[in-house]
Structure 1
Amino acid sequence: MTDAVINLDLPGPVVSRHQHGHFAEHLGRCIYDGIFVGPDSPIPNDNGIRLDVVEALKEIGIPNLRWPGGCFADDYHWKDGIGEDRPTVVNSLWGDVVEDNSFGTHEFMRLIELLGTEPYICGNVGSGTVQEMSQWVEYLTRGDDSPMARLRRENGRDEPWSVKFWGVGNESWGCGGNMRPEHYADLARQYGTYCRDHGDNTLYRIACGPNVDDYAWTQTLMATVGDLGCGCRPTDHFQGLSLHHYTFGRSWEQKGSATEFSDDEYWYAMANAFRMDELISRHAAIMDVYDPTRRIGLVVDEWGTWWEPEPGSNPGFLVQRQTLRDALVASVTLDIFHNHADRVFMANLAQTVNVLQAVLVTDGEKLTRTPTWHVFKLNQGHGDGELLPVAWRGDRAVRAVAHDGPRPDTQLPLLHASATRRDGRMLLSVTNLALEATTATFDLRGGTATVAGGQLLTASDLRDEEVTVTGFDGASIAGGVLSVALPATSYAVIELDLA
């Protein structure tokens, strides 16, 4: 009996390319020294933006970039970051360092142009005003002779930009204001009203959603969707709802080392990563009650691994190294997003450079592509493909992982997969979490397929900080069954031609 069934001929939802998004905050060395080195740096740059970082991000087809935070967003006043005379402020949230605002709105939008991607700007609800955020939208997107458009032209930009994605605050339940859900729900409606569409720039407003499993927050916010008695469409105030969930070791208080961990700690981390599936399912079920046609997208705009800071580093800079374990967290999480394509519209890995589960690390002129970068590189082909659900059979191999406290044991599947179809070709991603080799088998129904190629990501040990990506010849089809021979703790991507 095969492990799973894939129906090649059934229609499915489109896997949004925005699920593969990224996040850059004014935190540690993400912006300064990471993305921005200043125009006088000997490192090749475009008005201060590192060109090697730009090229490495273009290689993985980055679809969107969230900025300026994170927690920093609700301390950020955008007018501090425009013009010639920019004030300094204290970044008390991350390392208690002085922020000189040399990387602001125009620099970010230049980065967006260099990357050929879409901006996602998170506005200040916690310490800002409705007027402030409304004017930022106008400054960026309005083309006539309005006050903010004139100010933009004074600062050297004639034509407006296109900025679709706007976050209405960040973690308003915590660092973004310590708000109650009822209070924030009203603010989401208020800010959504005054953050207006200008010209042909149509906003996609992303309301601050829950912290992990705060289902009451989702319930309260979604209850505001509906007939508001004002002729407004149900989703006029926000079109997306965010969700944050990080992967760590035994507990939030015992995150564990990034590089020195036991096999048991590996299983704790992978169970924590797999919890993303439960969180999306349960929050989506609440959303379905108020939004049955799924017009509002779930936006997982912060996710990734969070280990103890690297010894000797500023603990507020969230510096951590990576191993094969981080790559497997990324492969499993992206599969989960793909498999929830009917609700998950966007996701953003934390963070792009030098912070948490970064895809890139810089050290002076040196640039390193992390294990996670390679996972995103291999996943590119899933973006905007049609989901082909992988139906696992009941005897799927699992491992029981015990948790501290009231949470029940996690039945962690040892095989994870997602499949998409586009332009007559199927892309199948398969992760083997087991500490031993295995063969995954898939019953392909409703069509015929031939193996066109594949790639394999693995390392000799879970704790290796370098992974290898090689051509993969371990996939074969016989009698309509696709067999994938996987080494221990590995990730494979297989391309199949469909007929």
Structure 2
Amino acid sequence: MKKLRVTIDPLQEKGKINRELYGQFIEQAGRIVYGGLFVGKDSPIPNEDGVRLDVIQAYRDIQVPLLHWPGGGVADSYHWMDGVGPQEERKPLINRWTHQVEDNSFGTHEFFNLCEALGCEPYLVFNVGSATVRETASWLEYITFDGDTEMTRLRKKNGREKPWRLKYICMGNEWWFYETAQGYAEDYRRYSQFAREYGDNKLVRLLRGPQHFSYEHTDLLAGLVEPGSFDAMTLYQIIPSVPEGGGQSMQGGPIVSGGSVEFTKEEYYAALQNALKIDGSISRHLGILNRRTGNQGVKLAIDEWGTWYRQEKPEELWSMHMTMRDALIAAAVLNIYNQRSKDLLLCSLCMSINALCSILETKGDQLVKTPVYYVFRMYQNHQDAVLVHSFVEEDTVSFQGQELPCVSCSVSKKGETLLATLVNCSLERDYALEIELPHWSCRQCEGEILTGEIHSHNTFDAPCTVFPRAFTDFQIEGGLLRLTLPKASIISLTLAP
């Protein structure tokens, strides 16, 4: 078994890991909201304001810090006024992706009340594709203003006396479907100008950036928008299982990708290769933004990220099942986000329920937690902790002429306690780790491990096939922490002096 040395130095602090890096995305499409998160107040499934109680509890158990809504592509055809007022009077919505007719029973009140119940930040994407500037400005007034206006009277009539809090807003979503970068830059200026702040509710403004590795779009867009008019640029990082990021385009994400449950070893490593490129993508996009804007403090918001494969059910939008493969990739990506936390404002996993890289699946009154859910559970104490220096000696696997690092980690500190999260993405090699902690004496350690064959996944009949278990196979001696990191595994360690 090959030995790798890991160094952790709690005295080298690198800034806070913003909790919003662990956000979730609920798009008004497929079975994400309707049939997933939201069942309606009259459902026999236990619910609070129509939102499933088991979903609420699952979110609370991983301290979901941010919810991103209503889209996605749906945002640019979403008209908020159709989703407020008595539910029987709301106008149906024709979903732009599926042409399904939805009854708009989950709208502004339901979304913001859910965020309040969870204690998380709402992240709202405005419609600049088919809405007017006035419609968008009125929505902000409806949500955040405390005075006496037509919009606030309507909010009170609909049952909400006081305004909600709203921090994160983005102007539009996939603008490349319907206009040029020049057109979007002009729309951003107009819509943002009338996105007013009311009272002490301060807005963080996001510029809708490009997909994946489209550096020329970042360069073009950053040169068209006034520096200082946005706090962060969004970045879309969907991870397919085809080599070299193939099958991705500015016209709709992955076109070609393998299955979510049946896949080859080569497809696994292709997805991992694409995931690990996110680190370099962050650097290149930020470099362009800094050069174009002259602002070294501008950040990125990776508000759509996760694996994306072939749809399992032709009739159900984005239907996929998450396996141990996706847990490994999610853990590796979250380690990247933690290490790059000074450069990132927020991130949201795409999608949260019943679609794409989901953490939850529902069927009737049943709920199952996917392997990806347990990664978020194991990593949750990184939220708002202080990132500290860590280094892993490198070992690689060769794929498509590239060397992919097998092991990654990130370490954070809260008070006197450290959380170290380690992932071994190799399918062939176990590693003997020797963890050094200079300037710090580790006397207590508790661990969890998530591992399994990479095709294994949780089902409604077998919901705990992939489940974290206590990890105790470690030794603390001579100032070192020694352990075996098995192939295809994720370990979280809570360390105390």
For normalisation by structure 1, the TM-score amounts to 0.91
1:405 corresponds to which residue?
Answer: none
Whether the aligned pair in 2 keeps the contact of 1:451 and 1:476 (CA below 8 Å) is: no
Mapped contact 1:185–1:220 kept (Cα < 8 A): no
For residues 323-338 of structure 1, the aligned pairs below 5 Å read 323-338=323-338
Question: Cα distance, 1:434 vs. partner?
Answer: 1.3
1:438 corresponds in structure 2 to 431
Question: Are residue 464 (structure 1) and residue 462 (structure 2) matched?
Answer: no
The alpha carbon displacement at 1:274 in A equals 1.1
2:162 matches 1:163:
no
Structure 2's unaligned 5+ residue stretches are: 248-254, 458-464
Residue 86 of structure 1 corresponds to: 90
Structure 2 CA distance for partners of 1:397 and 1:76, relative to 1, 3 Å:
same
Per-residue CA deviation, residues 332-382 of structure 1 (Å, 9 max, x unaligned), is 111010010111121000111111111111100001111111110011110
Is it true that 1:485 corresponds to 2:484 in the alignment?
Answer: yes
Q: Which amino acid is 2:80 matched to? A: W
1:270 is aligned, of 269, 272, 288, to 272
Is structure 2 residue 186 aligned with structure 1 residue 147?
A: no
Percent identity of paired positions between Structure 1 and Structure 2: 36
* Ranges of 4+ aligned residues in structure 1 off by more than 4 Å: 290-294
Distance in 2 (alpha carbons) for counterparts of 1:171 and 1:411: 33
Aligned partners of 2:276, 2:4: CA distance in 1, in Å? 23
Match among 105, 112, 126 for residue 109 of structure 1 = 112
Question: Which residue is 2:211 aligned to?
Answer: 211
Matched-pair contact (CA < 8 Å) for 2:392–2:408: no
Is contact 1:475-1:494 (8 Å) kept?
Answer: no
Letter of the 1:314 counterpart: E
C-alpha distance in 1, partners of 2:256/2:389? Answer: 36
1:381-404 Cα deviation digits (max 9, x unpaired): 1011111132344xx1112221xx
Match of 2:399 in 1: 401
Hey, what's the Cα distance between the residues in 1 that align with 2:258 and 2:72?
23
Q: How does 1:68-87 map to 2 (within 5 A)?
A: 68-84=70-86, 85-87=89-91
Q: 1:426 aligns with which of 407, 418, 433?
A: 418
What is the CA-CA distance between 1:245 and the residue it aligns to?
1.1
TM-score, reference length from structure 2 = 0.92
Distance in 1, Cα, partners of 2:407 & 2:294: 31
Which deviations, in whole Å up to 9, do the C-alpha atoms of 1:43-84 show, x marking residues without a partner?
A: 111221111111111111000100001000001011111112
2:349 partner amino acid: L
Letter in 2 for 1:194: F
Deviations 1:194-249 (A, max 9, x none): 111101100011110111111122223333566xxxxxxx53x2212100111121
8 Å Cα contact 2:84-2:90 kept in structure 1: yes
Amino acid at match of 2:487: A
1:170 aligns to what SS in structure 2? coil
Match for 1:282: what amino acid?
A: R
Report the alpha carbon displacement of residue 173 of structure 1 after superposing the two structures with TM: 2.1
Aligned residues: 475
Give 1:444's aligned amino acid.
L
Asked whether the 8 Å contact 2:259–2:309 carries over to 1, the reply is yes
| 2:312 aligned with 1:319 | no
Instruction: Flag the 1:440–1:165 CA change in 2: closer, same or farther, 3 A.
Output: same
User: Aligned with 1:287: secondary structure?
Assistant: helix
CA distance in 2, matches of 1:428, 1:410: 27
The CA distance in 2 between the partners of 1:102 and 1:449, in whole Å, is: 52
Aligned counterpart for 2:135 among listed residues 132, 135, 146: 132
The Cα of 1:413 is off from its aligned counterpart by 0.3
How do 1:55-454 residues align onto structure 2 when only pairs under 5 Å count? Answer: 55-84=57-86, 85-93=89-97, 95-174=98-177, 177=178, 179-223=179-223, 234-235=227-228, 237-250=229-242, 251-252=246-247, 253-290=255-292, 294-311=296-313, 313-315=314-316, 317-393=317-393, 396-402=394-400, 409-435=401-427, 436-454=429-447
Distance 1:133 1:410, change over 3 A: farther
Maintained 8 Å contact 1:171/1:211: no
Q: Secondary structure at the match of 1:8?
A: strand
Q: Distance in 1 between matches of 2:387 and 2:64?
A: 20
Kindly indicate whether the alpha-carbon contact (under 8 Å) linking 1:273 and 1:329 is maintained by their aligned counterparts in 2. Answer: yes
In the TM superposition, what is the alpha-carbon distance from 1:449 to its structure 2 partner?
Answer: 2.5
